[in-house]
Amino acid sequence: MDGEGARPFEPRITAFVCNWCTYTGADLAGTSRLQMAANVRIIRLPCTGRIDPLFIVKAFERGADGVIVSGCHPADCHYNAGNYHARRRFAIFRELADFLGIDPGRMTFSWVSASEGAKWRDVVNETVDRVRRLGPFTAYRELVTDPPVTRVVGKEVPA
């Protein structure tokens, strides 16, 4: 994608994580200097219960090849029940995503606690590998009709 034949495809992954567990777990991965793939961009939310399925659709529309949703383990949600709502929403959304033309293999839903730095690294690496094999996600970019977003660094956007 992006017209570069020479460079191999590197997937872009957007991750929606909860502040209390996964974000902190990712912090721990950093503190522990656990090296991992550099393809993931984290968006911090207070709780996975805050996640609207539209965020995921928007992420794909805006160039993501894969999405990670990650929160606290069941029974450990900082807000008691937000992760349960996220799980239920995601279970239904996965069906809708398939219908919308998003391969469910492009999405990862995980529980990563604040102490699971290594697990976060594994979720990241595994997702990146999986999405790399699926190839770039192009279906939505062709539908974008509003003025194209200009990129600040590097690549030109095809017209």
Applying CB under 8 A, does 80 fall inside the site for another protein?
Answer: yes
Q: In sequence order, what are the residues at sequence separation of 6 or more whose Cβ sits closer than 8 angstroms to the Cβ of residue 23?
A: 17, 42, 44
Number of shown-chain residues binding another protein (CB under 8 A):
51
Q: How far is CA 23 from CA 7, 19, 29, 34, in A?
A: 31, 5, 10, 15
CB of 62 to another protein, least distance (A): 3
Token representation of residue 15: 């991750």
**Nearest Cα to Cα of residue 56 among 2, 92, 19, 9:** 92
Q: Which segment (94-102, 105-113, 126-134, 150-158) binds another protein by CB under 8 A?
A: 150-158
Q: Which residues bind another protein (CB under 8 A)?
A: 2, 12, 14, 23-24, 26-27, 29-31, 33-36, 38, 41-47, 49-52, 55, 58-59, 61-64, 77-82, 85, 89, 121, 141, 148-149, 151-155, 157
